[in-house]
Structure 1
């Protein structure tokens, strides 16, 4: 999903600074009673339905996706008003600013106006570690229990961080490659090695966004996992020396690929928007996105040609979920619980999968859906060239541990971007 993850260090420095001062250490420790008291009252979903009626609840998340914004405003908010007389206030804000704000609220020891947060990955790892999130609450959300893989990997781990009920899956993301079959002689590369062979035969027609841009970073991790194996990356020590030893063959591959990239790998696109424009103009032959629906959306908007199709590596592409969490400082945890259930409900998510809201992929176990909704989703995606749920899950590898991502990005910068090759 297009949730921003790349601006994490500025607020981490703020956390570090707060730990230097004795008074702030107290604020950065356990949650104050004013923060935890409201959470203790959310005993069950039915109880929340009684106590939350008539309140206002805030949803904080990346606001750069207009289709997702429309879905909240046109589908979720009216449903919350009708069912519970609850007003939903959508607050567009980048995740680094959200977390900075949560740190400030925590230091104050008071409750705040941030209720539901769109979060995942490295940000969840640090927010949970620093006590910024409320939980566990997932087992109180009916949509989680009734519609999702409650014992599945992505319900238990977020970028290998144990979730333990502190967030609920919100949408499926998976690194997906896109290309025009004619540019690949009707055979898309299904491995990093085949991609290298294609690059050598078509110099200048491939590139990727430079890490730490999070989609380019995922591409680098995906290639490394394809070369050395996911287990080797997962098992490696989370140190620069340990990671370098484990992933060196992957870095060597990226250096071998480098001279055959656009502009001989001397420079890289900085944003996915730039990559999209290059692909649309036939300047390059392959695009990629964390959203498997990206190609369909761009085709509908007449940015990509109608023959654009998704493809994956045979050994799998990195996948993850985005999640919804509740701020520990929220004064409306009961209303937040109701909002998360509505946003992940079968009715709301099926609407979110429609073209006008961006073909978003729900985080559901399809066997738990009504036959009508299962058929609707499957036919919708098939007709638009979006990978089916079965195809996605057959080509998935989990994300590596959140704390290793910055290390891999640093090694790429040192040995590939600024390397001698």
Structure 2
């Protein structure tokens, strides 16, 4: 009898565990509902947005603009939780391995190799973008930039939140004519020793700078971004890249003995006048730093031949979000014309938008077109003419390893 009692107790526990796992509906079940029902389910709930928190302008946009309006319009409380994306994915991976079906993350800001890793490890809830009214109404839904993310098929698992383009910043009070090509950059660095450097390859920005060099050394940039990584096929281009970087190294800040670990460190060197250039994704990021007195007022930006890499970044929903309706409502709101317009203005973030201006109502179209992004921001025409797509995500990790072997240890 005691044995039977133990077996019965185990059966009850197993059934309880199964029913507990089914208490949170799957994402497809939620997205199959009418949108008004999804929004109604989201009311009076809290949505936790985990995202990189290293930019105060971005943080202020979320905290001071998005959160209060989401609460006012939808009765949804948005909590921003700052955390590096790699740490977010590690947290989700640990929870996945532990079978934790009720997590603490409802939305994650993601793209590139982080999206690839999350998708491959089944850390995301599934496809949802087709259910978002604002995506369908105001975005070019078949835009290739929304279909792949650094070469990984999106499959509707992340919603386009913004797009950025890589630019270089310089102090016009110290630099009369910035370089127009990467060959000119190397020559400028030799003529101005110690006044240029770049973050190391582990840093997102530093890695992108190095991929620009790879593009520049190729017969054409498309030989890199149109092809999957094939180390043998690009060996000559890679050799030219390491040669370029090693030849430049003695002229870098501290003669290349130390590379900034982060973009924040490089920005600090620039703000203190130790170097005369910095760089980064987001063509308008200097505006808020100028306003805050971090960057000199004479900061301007430039791009170089053969072009400037740009990409789209996204919002996604983790596999164990306990508030999928809230997450959908918040993401849809952040894709709205009103939220995108506020994000475009330089007083918060100043970032470009993936929204299709031509699909907007006339009054909203005029508001977008009248935004003054700031004196340090290049014209939209110059940015569009210089735009280069990202290569597949595999190049990021390859660059980290090879740069260390071929440049740091050389």
Aligned residue number for residue 158 of structure 2:
167
What is the distance in 2 between the residues matched to 1:394 and 1:370? Answer: 27
Q: Say whether residues 1:199 and 2:185 are aligned partners.
A: no
CA drift of 1:400 comes to 1.4
What is the distance in 2 between the residues matched to 1:37 and 1:178? Answer: 46
CA drift of 1:409 comes to 1.7
Count how many residue pairs are aligned between Structure 1 and Structure 2: 387
Worse-matched range after superposition: 55-64 or 349-358: 349-358
Aligned residue number for residue 253 of structure 2:
262
Aligned residue number for residue 365 of structure 1:
356
Seen in structure 2, the aligned counterparts of structure 1 residues 129 and 204 have a Cα distance that, compared at 3 Å, is same
In structure 1, list runs of 5 or more residues that go unmatched. 1-31
Q: Say whether residues 1:102 and 2:92 are aligned partners.
A: yes
Q: Secondary structure at the match of 2:122?
A: coil
Tell which structure's C-alpha radius of gyration is larger.
2
Seen in structure 2, the aligned counterparts of structure 1 residues 35 and 408 have a Cα distance that, compared at 3 Å, is farther
CA drift of 1:330 comes to 1.6
Q: Say whether residues 1:111 and 2:102 are aligned partners.
A: yes
Q: Structure 2 residue aligned with 1:238, among 229, 237, 243? A: 229
Aligned residue number for residue 306 of structure 2:
315
Worse-matched range after superposition: 365-374 or 222-231: 365-374
Contact 2:225 2:389 in 1 (8 A): no
What is the distance in 2 between the residues matched to 1:212 and 1:54? Answer: 41
What is the distance in 1 between the residues matched to 2:151 and 2:274? Answer: 36
Q: Say whether residues 1:37 and 2:35 are aligned partners.
A: no
- Residue deviations 1:16-49, cap 9 Å, x none? xxxxxxxxxxxxxxxx766663542321433312
Q: Structure 1 residue aligned with 2:63, among 63, 66, 73? A: 73
Seen in structure 2, the aligned counterparts of structure 1 residues 70 and 313 have a Cα distance that, compared at 3 Å, is same
Seen in structure 2, the aligned counterparts of structure 1 residues 78 and 316 have a Cα distance that, compared at 3 Å, is same
Q: Structure 2 residue aligned with 1:346, among 337, 342, 346? A: 337
Q: Structure 1 residue aligned with 2:143, among 152, 157, 181? A: 152
Aligned residue number for residue 11 of structure 1:
none
- Residue deviations 1:203-230, cap 9 Å, x none? 2222111111111111011111122132
Aligned residue number for residue 23 of structure 1:
none
What is the distance in 2 between the residues matched to 1:303 and 1:104? Answer: 39
Q: Structure 2 residue aligned with 1:134, among 125, 136, 159? A: 125
Contact 2:162 2:351 in 1 (8 A): yes
What is the distance in 1 between the residues matched to 2:164 and 2:158? Answer: 16
Show the 5 A alignment for 1:260-299: 260-299=251-290
Aligned residue number for residue 82 of structure 2:
92
Seen in structure 2, the aligned counterparts of structure 1 residues 146 and 285 have a Cα distance that, compared at 3 Å, is same
Contact 1:382 1:388 in 2 (8 A): no
What is the distance in 2 between the residues matched to 1:147 and 1:173? Answer: 19
What is the distance in 2 between the residues matched to 1:277 and 1:38? Answer: 43
Aligned residue number for residue 25 of structure 1:
none
Contact 1:138 1:166 in 2 (8 A): yes
What is the distance in 2 between the residues matched to 1:133 and 1:201? Answer: 49
Seen in structure 2, the aligned counterparts of structure 1 residues 87 and 274 have a Cα distance that, compared at 3 Å, is closer
What is the distance in 2 between the residues matched to 1:315 and 1:381? Answer: 27
What is the distance in 2 between the residues matched to 1:275 and 1:255? Answer: 20
Calculate the aligned-residue CA RMSD, in Å: 2.3
CA drift of 1:54 comes to 2.7
Runs of 4+ in 1 over 6 A off after TM superposition: none
Seen in structure 2, the aligned counterparts of structure 1 residues 67 and 304 have a Cα distance that, compared at 3 Å, is closer
Seen in structure 2, the aligned counterparts of structure 1 residues 181 and 373 have a Cα distance that, compared at 3 Å, is farther
Q: Say whether residues 1:53 and 2:43 are aligned partners.
A: yes
What is the distance in 2 between the residues matched to 1:340 and 1:227? Answer: 39
Seen in structure 2, the aligned counterparts of structure 1 residues 350 and 33 have a Cα distance that, compared at 3 Å, is same
Q: Structure 2 residue aligned with 1:399, among 371, 390, 397? A: 390
Give the TM-score, by structure 2 length: 0.86
Aligned residue number for residue 6 of structure 1:
none
- Residue deviations 1:97-148, cap 9 Å, x none? 2222222332325232311111111110010111111221111112222222
CA drift of 1:262 comes to 2.0
Seen in structure 2, the aligned counterparts of structure 1 residues 90 and 276 have a Cα distance that, compared at 3 Å, is closer
Contact 1:39 1:333 in 2 (8 A): no
Contact 1:223 1:250 in 2 (8 A): yes
Give the TM-score, by structure 1 length: 0.84
